Amino acid sequence: MTRIAATVLATCGLALVAALAALGSARSAALPSAAPAGLALQVGAELWPYRIASASLLPGERLQLKPRGADGPLHLRASQGSVVRLRQGGWGFEAPREPGLAVLELRRASGELAMSIHAFVMVPAARVRDGALNGYRIGDYPPRPAEDRGLYEPPAGFVEVTAGLEEVPVSPHFRLGQFLCKQAGLHPKYLVLRPRLLLGLEAIVESLDLEGVGLAVMSGYRTPEYNREIGNVARSRHLWGDAADVFLDLEPLDGRMDDLNGDGRIDLLDARWLAARIGSVPAFREGQSFAGGLAAYPAAEAHGPFVHVDLRGQTRRWGE
């Protein structure tokens, strides 16, 4: 166990456990099915070793799912769409023709649930009109730079988030609503959320060794419209759904970074402490690249210090 984990858990004990049970959607705690699945499932390009996985795909799009390390037969069923067995092993899932949530259940021969896969069928980006989708402002994505290499391709679609979907888990420690843009607007809202970001955040939670305590997500997806309003760089990775600004908020639960380095202050040094821990997470795991951007930021009037994390696939470091 890490020094911070041991200190916090020794001081807070059961009080911390009770506090986690009452956390809001902006703060992440382990979900009931957060334990490892005992197998891994290749969901498209991503390998998920957890009991909860997620994917985003367009209406009618096909997705391949292939188990690894299973110790017996498995069965896959979907609440919507269709599932077929593949000759090379695993299954093919065809998304329904209408946007929404399709829940896929991977079960063992005994009927035990091994994994839930939440497949979000997106609204195609072609439905955006004059920078808006069903009245929700998206804005315009910036032109792709000459050195794009596929990093700045506009999203093919957007996950539609109703009030009822905000609490849907997208991984063991995170829920869909935590990644919504902070811009004003009624439901439905829309976002882009890449599974690689979720896997990277889960790897960070594991590396912090805080026994189920997750990270607080200060900012996830940002629409180009909102990104422009706050004066952020035009090509922020937040626009592509593979970036999050995070901090650790353990005790007291005040919505801001904790004193992580134990110097009696909460400032940039705490963000740097957390960034250093995040930077120690291996860049590659099971063939997946967790390479990306990492930067520590100081407090401002509206927020405490935080750490920016993105999974762009290229290592970048900046900040103070």
- DSSP-derived 3-state class of residue 145: coil
Tokens found for residue 296: 């520590």
Confidence of residue 7 (pLDDT cuts 50, 70, 90): very low
Q: What is the pLDDT of residues 105-162, one digit of tens each?
A: 999 999 999 999 999 999 999 999 999 999 999 999 999 988 887 889 999 999 999 9
User: Can you read off the two tokens belonging to residue 243?
Assistant: 């970036």
DSSP assignment of 214-279, as one string?
EEEEEE----HHHHHHTT--TT-GGGGT-EEEEE---SS-SSS----SSSS--SHHHHHHHHHHHH
Q: Is the model's pLDDT at 25 over the cut of 90?
A: no
pTM for this model (two decimals): 0.89
CATH topology of domain 3-30+122-319: Muramoyl-pentapeptide Carboxypeptidase; domain 2 (3.30.1380)
| Distance from C-alpha of 80 to C-alpha of 256, rounded to nearest angstrom | 40
Residue 183 identity (one-letter amino acid): Q
What are the structure tokens assigned to 136, written together? Answer: 């929700």
Task: Give the pLDDT confidence of 211-255 residue by residue, as tens digits.
Answer: 556 689 999 999 999 999 999 999 999 999 999 999 998 876 788
315 CB neighbour count, 10 Å cutoff: 13
Q: How far is CA 178 from CA 100, 133, 300, in A?
A: 18, 20, 21
- The alpha carbon of 281 is separated from its chain's Cα centroid by a whole number of angstroms, namely 16
Q: How far is CA 158 from CA 93, 134, 138, 196, in A?
A: 19, 12, 10, 16
Going from N- to C-terminal start, the domains of the chain cover: 3-30+122-319
Nearest CA to 28 among 165, 239, 171?
Answer: 171
- CA pair distance 140, 213, nearest whole angstrom: 37
What is the maximum alpha-carbon separation in the chain?
Answer: 60
